[in-house]
Amino acid sequence: MPGFQVCTCKPCGAASPERHRVSEWASALSWGRDESELVNELQAGSEAAFDWLVTHYHAPVFNLILGMLGDPCDAADGTQEVFLKAFKGIRNFRHGSSLKTWLYRIAIREALNHRRWFKRHLQKNISIDAEPEEGQSKFEIEDMNATPFDQLASREIQSVVQDALGQIPDVFRSAVILRDLEGLSYEEVAEVLECSVGTVKSRILRGRRALKDLLDPFLHEQHAAHSAANRVAAKRDSGFKSFSYKPLDKQVVLTNPELKDMP
């Protein structure tokens, strides 16, 4: 990418002392500290600073777009576009925002643009045999101690929640994902979506209620299945471990019966 500072005086192409210094600084930087210095380095075209930005925000940006689009390949393409636009637009970055919310705002716009383009031009074909690429989705968290039944149930939740997210309006989906899956504060969500905190809270509440309506039938089926499985397990020999269902870390938020009452 143009503007990056790479030493050309050595045959091995080693980084200059300045780049090494920035690299050490970038790797040790805690979020929220010296962000203005990081922005200055990015605006000056520092390759190490941009590497830091991509390294620390690739996964969150990918997960956000995946939640909006529901397809790992589309999310990967969108993530690449986000960082390309960030590289091109960093000189116009306003210090009144944080880099995190700035990147998320770009990601939301990229996802919405993709959905609009898709609706106009394509009819998507999804193979039931397709498997997400390894390590790409935050919805692919595996519990190494889980039984095969646990893992199957977790994958089922992943699919159901992703499908439910795809059925609620974009304006609610983005707010719920940013708050409940990405863990942003109401203020940060408001900054990303460029609206008031009150509007954010309203969208999240309505989005959670819509999700609850969509997920309730699945939850009732799951509860009945788990109760039956536990009754069967209780009749087995004491040496067998009874089934215990363990939902995913963050997606349990979206399948909580008290979803509509969450802060």
pLDDT in tens, 177-213: 999 888 899 999 999 999 999 999 999 999 999 988 8
Are residues 103 and 84 part of one domain?
A: yes
Q: Where residue 46 sits, what CATH number does that domain have? A: 1.10.1740.10
Q: Where residue 156 sits, what CATH number does that domain have? A: 1.10.10.10
Query: What does the pLDDT read at residue 96?
Result: 76
Query: What does the pLDDT read at residue 8?
Result: 36
Query: What does the pLDDT read at residue 153?
Result: 56
Are residues 225 and 136 part of one domain?
A: no
The answer, yes or no, to whether residue 215 has pLDDT greater than 60, is: yes
Task: Give how far Cα 61 sits from Cα of 10, 29, 43, 156, 262, Å.
Answer: 36, 19, 20, 24, 24
Q: What is the mean pLDDT of residues 73-96?
A: 91
Please, what is the angle between helix 99-121 and helix 186-193, to 10°?
A: 50
Which domain-ending residue is among 108, 140, 172? 140
Are residues 67 and 169 part of one domain?
A: no
Query: What does the pLDDT read at residue 161?
Result: 81
Average pLDDT for the chain? 72
Give 96-150 pLDDT, tens digit per residue: 778 999 999 999 999 988 877 766 655 444 443 444 444 444 444 344 454 444 5
Are residues 135 and 16 part of one domain?
A: yes
Of residues 2 and 43, more confidence is placed in: 43
Are residues 260 and 158 part of one domain?
A: yes
Query: What does the pLDDT read at residue 185?
Result: 92
**Could you give the CA distance from residue 139 to residue 67 in angstroms, rounded to a whole number?**
9
Query: What does the pLDDT read at residue 6?
Result: 32
Closest listed residue to residue 53, CA positions, set 34, 27, 78, 33: 27
Q: Which domain holds residue 25?
A: 1-122+131-140
Are residues 156 and 135 part of one domain?
A: no
Are residues 96 and 7 part of one domain?
A: yes
The answer, yes or no, to whether residue 18 has pLDDT greater than 50, is: no
Task: Give how far Cα 243 sits from Cα of 145, 150, 225, 238, Å.
Answer: 12, 8, 11, 13
Give 221-259 pLDDT, tens digit per residue: 776 766 666 666 666 655 545 444 444 456 555 656 555
Are residues 173 and 82 part of one domain?
A: no
Query: What does the pLDDT read at residue 233?
Result: 64
pTM above 0.85, yes or no: no
